Amino acid sequence: MKTLENLIDDVLEQNRCDFRFRAHRNQHGQITIYVHPIDISGDTLDFAVSGNTLTPIMQIPCDRCAGCGKLADDEDQTPWKYWMELPVQSAIVVLTGIVKPIDCPNCKGLGYTLIEG
Ligand SMILES: [Zn+2]
């Protein structure tokens, strides 16, 4: 797994020194950030923030919703992306609103879960 030190080292090797970090508050109320070099291609690393401690995290596609964040509100609660791929003739239940998307309860609609690495 690439470390923050590895990422910084890669950028310094290219005679650059600028990074962007973007902050989010996840579904559990925890603050997360991602760090990415500015103006050059490079890896993006995600961290959970606690005080002055950064814990690496990885985004894992949610198994329950197949990574789309939504489930059909039918009995099977099939991942919504499969309903969106139906041929037009079969999609009538979607078009008429008989089957509707709901947020996946596992990932709260995000389509992924975060695990600390
Ligand atoms: Zn999900």
DSSP H or E stretch at residue 82: helix 80-84
CA distance from start to end of the chain? 9
Is residue 95 a contact partner of residue 40, using CB atoms and an 8 Å limit? Answer: no
pLDDT of residue 27: 67
Residue 18 Cα to ligand 1 midpoint, Å, equals: 34
pLDDT tens-digit readout, 38-58: 999 888 899 989 999 999 988
Cβ-in-10-Å burial (0-12, 13-18, 19+) of 80 comes to: buried
Gap between the Cα atoms of 83 and 79, Å rounded = 7
Given a cut of 90, is residue 101 above it in pLDDT?
yes
Q: Say how many Å lie between the CA of residue 8 and the centre of ligand 1.
A: 33
Please give the structure tokens belonging to residue 111.
Answer: 């389509």
Distance from residue 14's CA to the centre of ligand 1 (Å): 38
